[in-house]
Each structure stands twice: as structure tokens, then as C-alpha cells.
Structure 1
């Protein structure tokens, strides 16, 4: 089956008619349909399909127990109203690259695996890369069991409802020990390749990044009868903190975003009692990120005090800078330079990935495919057919160089 045929099959799953974006959340019906699609692709190619203890899907050519396996893939879930390419491009390209290698008559000296990591985006339970974090031991079973969605449904309960036993959740060192290299192909989440004119790039590192929850507490009151001077309105310091985040990030060359907010009691005619905002901040270096977040918190506390509100700040997640394996990165550059004659640019990224989670346990690398809009986590996310083809061929060249020496 061609790349375009696979893409056409996957494209309608979980698509929201109103926005044109995707709602493929972990352990929902759309997620189940994506998983069924993956399993069928594996069967169509005579691959061994399995689901591990953490709900990640694997398709194997050869016996993974032989060790030193070469693995590629990504994820199929999405952010709310996300784009079509973030995650699925890497999975579809993995199957297409295998098809290309078989067309070439490649002889594999190592096992080849294709993976769909579960719940990479964290859209339902609020934590990114749950499947790979559990596998790598970066998230404990106890922590995973405490994750809940907006309706109060726990992760284990959601998994059970989807037909997966959560009883074995936890680290999977034996599986990771079988992997000699993991290469994830991903649409670029930015415009570096578009600006350089290159269809494909290699990742150097993932910026350090984290999520912080800001709870501004004031006093609920009537919007029509409470004098402005008598109000303790937490919406005001929240709004001023959003602007402060923009200023701090711009000064430091970083990024900071308040993209999610919850308000109580959330009435049109009520002064809020609580405004809860989630900050996502990322920077090229740890010191810069620390400076930005400290500056935002300092401004938030000053604004809260000025409006008679209180503030609690909780760090909900954090990932330090991830330097991808230098030897593997250089090998990818050598393969692409020798096989395809490509001088592939090496670039950093502010986006987190399963490859970043695995990097501490397995040699990992990433390929990026050009995104002409630079937009991601949106229906405007895109890649041309020619660039998708270039990505498949580059991935095939890399897999051939690593698994068919």
C-alpha cells in the first residue's frame, strides 16, 4: 500500500467537522480506530503485532529478542483540534519506508520495529508522552494510576474501558534493552526548514520545557452590584500575568504560553473566585528557562497582591534539555550525505517527543520534514506531497544504513 493510500485511510479518523482538526484522545473511540489501523498495517505486511504493558503498539520484522533492533515510528493521538501530521506522519512514513526497502530488495541484518506510542500529546490526562514515559521508567505506575481526565476518569479506568489491562503498567527495561537505535520522523513544528529551503532536517536537541499551573484565588461576587474598588478579582492578575509571560519570553529569546484556563464559578455575571491558568515555557538553555519562569512568577505574585488575590504556583511537569545521541545523529548525516547526496541541516526544536523521553535509555535521533506554514497543533499544519515523499525516502535510507549493513 502506498504512502498516499495509507494517509487517505487514516485521514478521516477522529476528525472534527466543525474545525477540520483532530480529536484523537488516548483510550477513546478515535484512538481505538487508529490502533486498529496500525494493527491492520502490520498484518498486511506479515509483521508481528503486539501491545506492550503500557499500551504502546509494536510491529516487528524479525525477532526483537535478537537485540540491537532498529526501531522507528511516532504516535497517532492528537491535541484538541490538532493537525493531521503531528505524529501520524512518522507512523505512516515508517510503514512506507519498510515498503520502499522491500521494493529495493534490502536484506535486514537486524530486527526492524515500528511503534505507535500511546498518549504522546497528553490531551486527555494532562501529561505528555505517557506511553514512552512509563516504558522508560520516567513515570511510575503509581503516578500513572493517579492521572485523571476532565470528567474525573482515571487512566486505569479508561484503559480498562478500552479493553487494555492496566495491571502491568510500569517500566519495561527488557524491551528497551532490545533496541539498538530509535529514529523518529516528525513534521517540523516551526519554519527553519522552510526558511533554509530543505525538505528534510536532523534534530540536534530538544529545548528544556515544562508546564506550571498558576492558581489565582480571589472572592466570588455579583458582577452588577459589587463596586470595582471592593472587588478581589483573580482574572485581573491572571490577565496581567499572560502579558508578563510574553514580555519575559521575548526579552530572553524563549517562548512562554498560557494556552489553557479554568474559571470558577465561570458565570457571565459573576466575579470569579478562582482563575487557574497553565503556563508552557521553553528555552534553548536551562538557565534561560529558569530566568523566564522566575520572572513570570515574580510578576504574577506582584499582580495578585495588587488586586487582593492569592497565588499558588505548581510545576506539573518538566523535561530537561535532551541532546540526541551524537554518534547516531552523525551517522544519519553520513548516510543521507552518502546515499542521497543530501547535506541535511541540523536544528534544535522546542517541541517534546517520545524520542526525547527514550534518549536517556536508548540511542535516539530524529528526522524532520518541512512544514511550509510553520504551524503545528492546528489544522493549518501541513507538508507537501513531495516533502512527505522525501521524508519517506530519507527514512528508508537511514533504516537501510542502520539495519542492512
Structure 2
């Protein structure tokens, strides 16, 4: 082999067969949706229950002992070599956004199932392996992300019980209707002292692996995030009779504020998105008196994120003063940056190298993941799979069967490396 030659990553025969199963399962779960013709599966819905039942069957067929926890997350477990063996968690989520793709979250859960079956086929490992299919990562129904993994991490906030969905159903009432007891949600929490760590495989929700020409990547950290609900209060007046100098237009204030978010974040190399906007009174011949919009702000580090937000707030204040409108942001979500543990990322990197990729790509995840919650109680690491064009939260989201196969080989090696390292330290 010449110095310029490279080994082409190649999946094992076992991985190719398992990848075909994983992709078929993704297609089957895509049919579990509350909407005809598109994928929508939200927390504590009939579709949540159906998805759990389907995946529970696949877990049991793979030899895992299964249960649903007090927050509606589905678990599957293979015991370790000893009764007191520590636990390595693997998983992702089964819920979706509205009109979703079929791989976000789901592929990580299904890869974890096949990986556990593969690495325990010859007998138990020095660690117990537990797959967690988290029930609410997206926050689609109640507007609060990471509910399922927050319960598992033991950081449930009692203030969340009053959150309401679009129909006015509270989280507490939805729990009860689903058959869960709100008073027992704390029972979903894991025991941190028993954990070795958490590994999550996930499609990349951006174009960086495709640009690098690599199927798999090692995640170094997960975005620091803050979300805000912003209200702009102006004055509703007659559209024909009110001259421009007398207008206090809430919609134009919100529109200018949205452009300021983009301008500032591009300049500061952060990611800011205004994803929703509503206007009242919403009449064609009335100057808008009220506008509500969202801001989603993400960065690699908490300090930079907060500094950029202060710059955005200053811009909001200037726009509001100039237009005679009051702009009030209210924070609705905050998540610190999570940095992946070196010993676990080394295991993930070893797994990718084992497929034939000599220099695995390292990526900062701009999207949030359940690993953010688990990072509060144990070490975490993530494996990204290439997503052509980087499109996600959209029906065109995709990962190839060949890349899934490579990911399965890499994840199996990573799990075995973690187990071997634990045995060596014992």
C-alpha cells in the first residue's frame, strides 16, 4: 500500500444483516403516527404507547428484559457477569417533531438493541447493558425538551406539571391518562453510582460528515442552548388612518428583531433561530398590536452563548425604543454545554477506526440530545452517522443502510472497549 492509499471502511457481514433489520424497523415505526401521510409521534399519546409496545417486542426478541419506567421511557436490559455489575446505558429517543423524518433518535435506539444482542451473544460482559428508548426528547407536545431523559437523570422539575399542550391538557393530566402516576415519577431515576456511562448513536443533523467524506464521526461536545418566548406589545390601530410616524407596529418590531438574531449570530458564529411567530389581532386592515415569537440560541460554550444573548437583548431594546413598542423575552429552556468524556470518546474513536477509517472526524453537536440529561449524572459519548445534505426534522432525513452497518460495527467495538477497560481496572 502506498503512502497515499487509504483503507475503505467496510462493515462486517453481521453488521450488514443487522443494518437491514434496523432500517426495516425504522420503516415500521414510521407508520406509528398520529397524522396520516406524515410522521408525528409525541409524548404520552396513543402513538407513544404503540411505539413502546412495538420496540418492547424487538427488545425481548433480542434477549433483553424489558420494562416501562415511571416517566414512560422503555428500557431493555441484559445482566452483567455478576449480580453487582455496573451498568452501561445505550439509547436515544422514539418521539418526533411534527412531520418528522424516520431516523432522528429512532435509529440510535434500534442500533443499541442490535448491538447489545451482538456483544452478549457469547455470554455476559463485565457490565450490564441497558438500552433506553426515551419518551420525550423533542418537547413537541408540551414545549419542554428532554422530559424523558430528565426523569431518568433524576432532575425532574415539579414546575413542569402545569405545562399545557395545544389542547390545554396539562402534563400532570396527560401522565394520568397514559396510566402513569405523577407522584412516582422519581422512580424513573437511575442510580448514578452504578453507571459506567452512556453511549448514544444518532444521525448527524448537519452536513459536516458529508463534507468530510466520512460515514461516522466522534462527538466532542453538545451545544449549550437557551430558548425564549418573546412578546412585543405595540398598539393596534387603523391601517388606513394611522400615519407611519404614529404607528407602534408589533409585527415589524418582531420582524426586525428576528433579523437582528440572524445578523448577530452569524457575526458571532453562534446559531440563533426564530422558529415561531404569531400576530394579533391578525386583521388585514389593522396595524398589529401584539406579536409573539421564539428564539432558540445555541453555542459551543455557555459563556459565549450568554454573551451573544446579551447582545441580542441590547438590539431588541434599541428596536423597541425606536418603534415605541415593548419587547419582553422570557426564558423557557436552558441547557449547559455537555462535553463528552475522554475515555468514552476514545472507545467510540476505536470503534470507528476498527471499520477502516484511519482519522475519524470530530464534531461539535449543534443539536441537543438525551446525552445532555445523562451528562448530569454520568460520563457520556456519542457516535454520529452521516446524513446526506444534513437535513433533519423533515421527511427527507436519511441515513444509508451501509452507514448504519458501519455504525453498528463501531458501536459494538466501543461497547466492548468500555467493558474491557472496566475489567482491566477491576
1:199-249 deviations in Å (ceiling 9; x for gaps): 111110012111012110112334455444433221011000111111101
Tell me by how many angstroms 1:100 deviates: 3.3
Q: What is the aligned partner in structure 1 of residue 79 from structure 2?
A: 62
Partner of 1:360, secondary structure, is coil
Q: What is the aligned partner in structure 2 of residue 29 from structure 1?
A: 46
From 12, 26, 33, the equivalent of 1:7 is: 26
Q: Distance in 2 between matches of 1:285 and 1:176?
A: 25
From 339, 357, 367, the equivalent of 1:342 is: 357
Q: 1:57-206 counterparts in 2 under 5 A?
A: 57-62=74-79, 66-101=84-119, 105=122, 107-140=124-157, 142-170=158-186, 174-206=190-222
Are 1:323 and 2:342 counterparts?
Answer: no
Q: Distance in 2 between matches of 1:259 and 1:14?
A: 23
Q: How many residues align structurally?
A: 400
Residues 176 and 116 (structure 1), Cα distance of their counterparts in 2 relative to 1, 3 Å cut: farther
1:152-199 deviations in Å (ceiling 9; x for gaps): 211111121122222212375554433212100000011111111111
Tell me by how many angstroms 1:383 deviates: 1.0
Tell me by how many angstroms 1:144 deviates: 2.1
Kindly indicate whether the alpha-carbon contact (under 8 Å) linking 2:139 and 2:147 is maintained by their aligned counterparts in 1: yes
Partner of 2:390, secondary structure, is coil
Name whichever of 365-374 and 166-175 sits farther off.
166-175
Kindly indicate whether the alpha-carbon contact (under 8 Å) linking 1:67 and 1:179 is maintained by their aligned counterparts in 2: no
Q: What is the aligned partner in structure 2 of residue 42 from structure 1?
A: 59
From 219, 227, 251, the equivalent of 2:267 is: 251
1:294-340 deviations in Å (ceiling 9; x for gaps): 22211112112222211111121111221111122123223443x43
Tell me by how many angstroms 1:46 deviates: 3.5
RMSD: 2.2
Q: Distance in 2 between matches of 1:210 and 1:270?
A: 33
Kindly indicate whether the alpha-carbon contact (under 8 Å) linking 1:68 and 1:179 is maintained by their aligned counterparts in 2: yes
Kindly indicate whether the alpha-carbon contact (under 8 Å) linking 1:112 and 1:403 is maintained by their aligned counterparts in 2: no
Name whichever of 358-367 and 213-222 sits farther off.
213-222
Residues 269 and 59 (structure 1), Cα distance of their counterparts in 2 relative to 1, 3 Å cut: farther
Partner of 2:398, secondary structure, is coil
Tell me by how many angstroms 1:109 deviates: 2.7
Q: Distance in 1 between matches of 2:411 and 2:336?
A: 27
Q: Distance in 1 between matches of 2:416 and 2:107?
A: 19
User: 5+ unaligned residues in a row in structure 1: which ranges?
Assistant: none
Kindly indicate whether the alpha-carbon contact (under 8 Å) linking 2:62 and 2:114 is maintained by their aligned counterparts in 1: no
From 355, 360, 368, the equivalent of 1:352 is: 368
Tell me by how many angstroms 1:75 deviates: 0.2
Tell me by how many angstroms 1:264 deviates: 2.7
Tell me by how many angstroms 1:98 deviates: 2.8
From 363, 369, 383, the equivalent of 2:399 is: 383
Q: Distance in 1 between matches of 2:159 and 2:84?
A: 32
From 338, 343, 366, the equivalent of 2:382 is: 366
Q: Distance in 2 between matches of 1:57 and 1:145?
A: 21
Q: Distance in 2 between matches of 1:136 and 1:84?
A: 26
Kindly indicate whether the alpha-carbon contact (under 8 Å) linking 2:351 and 2:409 is maintained by their aligned counterparts in 1: no
Report the TM-score, using the length of structure 2 for normalisation: 0.87
Q: 1:167-316 counterparts in 2 under 5 A?
A: 167-170=183-186, 174-316=190-332
Q: Distance in 2 between matches of 1:226 and 1:33?
A: 55
